[in-house]
Structure 1
Amino acid sequence: MNLTLTKYVLPLKHTFSISRESHNFQDSMVVSLGLNDKVGYGEATANPYYKITFESMQQEIESIRTEIENYTFTTPEDFNQFLNKKHLSNFAICALDLAAHDLYGKILNKPLYKIWNTDNSSYPITNFTIGIDSIDNMVAKMKEQPWPIYKIKLGTDQDVAIVKELRKYSDAIFRIDANCAWTAEETISYAPELKKLGVEFLEQPLKADDWTGMEQVMHASVLPVIADESCIVESDVEQCGYHFNGINIKLTKCGGLTPALRMIKKGKELGLKVMVGCMTESSVGISAIAQLTPQLDYVDMDGAMLLSKDIAKGIKIEPNGNLIFPNTGGSGITLL
């Protein structure tokens, strides 16, 4: 296979802030895998919380470049198994795994959702994320992007007041993501008022390892709670099943579509709601997530919508949230 690694600095429409960081640009690595006349594309974005940079991923992959280029490609699953023996970070594996799936589907000339025997006539609508900002700016972002479901980032000293104010300007469904910023007591206290304000669920209110606190929340919260930072890899799903109502799977964190498919299956077996989220990827990463949507209860795949300039075309998200799937195989990605 022919391997290419490309760095992109993705510009955001607005400064994006969560409880622990803010940024105006998103570093991203796009991997291309070529075989014969087909090219598959995958992506993983840098992330300071997990100490991942473009350079760290590049160094990892370059260390096994010869092995990748000499690899006899058969299926993405076999390729993922090969990668897992090479001691790469899950972010680096994700980019390669997504590229392998896109390549495989293009070879077969079938979109991934069809290869997986799923029906794309029904799927959840993505939420649109409103990052932490002044209330006026958060309202302005909502007005700029009317949407049926908003994910609102919180983790301030006026969280409930923010939601009360935003509710004045929209009748959309609200989802709250505190990114580990609350205590169990705060979560339990905020939940009744947030429920009255039309909040659907709370995402990762507590620190990732606060299992004792999450047990309290599970018993006392009037709103469902979805794991994010507590659910990174496959082995986390079972523990989350005892402490959350659902899980948010991130392809970059778990290592791509191959493990994500197993996590979706395990989550459903445990009776959990299953969500897949993004990490501000371009349409390269978002188009891969879109292939999973027929299997999901919720999805957060607005990454490319947050960019002022995209680098690829693939899945198209219409103004009402409906998806137009590419006609090409795999994830249907073409670089611009």
Structure 2
Amino acid sequence: MSRQLQARIESFPLTRAFTISRGAKTAAEVVTCIITDNGVTGRGECVPYTRYGETVEGVLKDIEAFAEAINSGTSRQELQSAMPAGAARNAIDCALWDLEAKLTGTRVSATACRVLVRPVPTAVTISLGDPADMADQARAHASQKLLKVKVGTSDDRARMHAVASAARDAEIILDANEGWNESNIREHLLLAAELHIGLIEQPLPAGKDEMLAHIPHPVPICADESVHTLADLEALSDRYDAINIKLDKTGGLTEALLMRDRARELGFGVMIGCMVGTSLAMAPAVLLAQDADWVDLDGPLLLARDRSPGLVYSGSLVSPPSADLWG
């Protein structure tokens, strides 16, 4: 085999600190996987996430440890059982998809998409802050149709009022990042309904969300940290109305496509989300998002510097990737 796998850590500064209930970051730390075969190169990017016990150094080592297998011809399908789901497998899986597309001359969209690819509307994220700051952020994105608002404190009422008042024409997703609890969730859900919030994402900690099966959902509730792969879906059907599929959780586009289809069979709504990464990380997710109910792929908009070429964003829309970028 003529394949050669390489990987490296890269850092992309953000335009401003990105804050959620678990902390803040000022740069996107990513791991890039490059697989070359007979002069043709495929690329994939992952964003290791400390919430799941990942570090950029550890993920880099995991990718490099699998280089011999990839260089010897391990296929994308074989990769699914050979590596666990997570960021490392995502980078390799997406690099293999890109490589296959370039070697065969067949775009990934022809295989992965059930509809004619088109620009899709994406949410823009409002970082966690005090109510006035979050209202200012919302007003700065007044033209956006969908806002994803980071909450997740013991009392988010003022934040919810502030953003809803500042963005009256936008649909709002509240992302609590596991930050609510049994004592405040009912109050927050009722207020969200009064404010016509469209979706609540992961209000309770993963593994401590049994309560969701026993309380009303006046606003649909979406699983994020509680759902990673296909195997998680059925156990969540009594707790959640929708799921957030992220490639860094599923371990790549291959698993994500299966997960999307099974989620539909089980009656879940589908969101396609992302970690904070570059256009290379978002590119396969844009294809996955072609028939999603909610799309949250604004990672490159948070960066001071993206890859070139990158994805094209126009207003609320993000276009499918060019062949020069990915797939």
| Shorter-chain TM-score above 0.5 | yes
Corresponding residue of 2:33: 31
Aligned residues: 323
- Where 1:34 maps in the other structure, the secondary structure is strand
- Where 1:168 maps in the other structure, the secondary structure is helix
Corresponding residue of 1:170: 167
- Where 1:57 maps in the other structure, the secondary structure is helix
CA distance 1:123–1:183, change in 2 (3 Å): farther
Distance 1:89 1:132 in 2: 29
Q: Which moved more, 1:293-302 or 1:112-121?
A: 112-121
Q: 2:69 aligns with which of 45, 67, 70?
A: 67
Q: Determine what percentage of the aligned residue pairs are the same residue.
A: 27
Structure 1 unaligned residues grouped into runs of 5+: 73-77
Corresponding residue of 2:89: 93
How far apart are residue 135 of structure 1 and its match?
Answer: 2.2
* Residue 6, structure 1, aligned to residue 8, structure 2: yes
How far apart are residue 46 of structure 1 and its match?
Answer: 2.3
Q: Is the 8 A contact 1:60 1:88 kept in 2?
A: no
Distance 2:284 2:133 in 1: 31
CA distance 1:198–1:311, change in 2 (3 Å): same
CA distance 1:88–1:245, change in 2 (3 Å): closer
Corresponding residue of 1:19: 21
Q: 2:284 aligns with which of 274, 283, 288?
A: 288
Distance 1:36 1:167 in 2: 54
Corresponding residue of 1:75: none
Q: Which moved more, 1:117-126 or 1:203-212?
A: 117-126
Q: Is the 8 A contact 2:201 2:224 kept in 1?
A: yes
Q: Is the 8 A contact 1:123 1:295 kept in 2?
A: no
How far apart are residue 185 of structure 1 and its match?
Answer: 4.5
- Where 2:102 maps in the other structure, the secondary structure is helix
Q: Is the 8 A contact 1:42 1:285 kept in 2?
A: yes
How far apart are residue 122 of structure 1 and its match?
Answer: 6.0
* Residue 82, structure 1, aligned to residue 83, structure 2: no
Q: Which moved more, 1:123-132 or 1:146-155?
A: 123-132
* Residue 225, structure 1, aligned to residue 227, structure 2: no
How far apart are residue 253 of structure 1 and its match?
Answer: 1.1
Q: TM-score, normalised by structure 2?
A: 0.92
Q: In structure 2, what residue type is equivalent to 1:328?
A: A
How far apart are residue 113 of structure 1 and its match?
Answer: 2.1
CA distance 1:111–1:139, change in 2 (3 Å): farther
Distance 1:110 1:272 in 2: 31
Cα deviation, 1:177-219, whole Å, max 9, x if unaligned, reads 11111124422222222122121011000111124212123xx
Q: Is the 8 A contact 1:8 1:30 kept in 2?
A: yes
Distance 2:241 2:118 in 1: 22
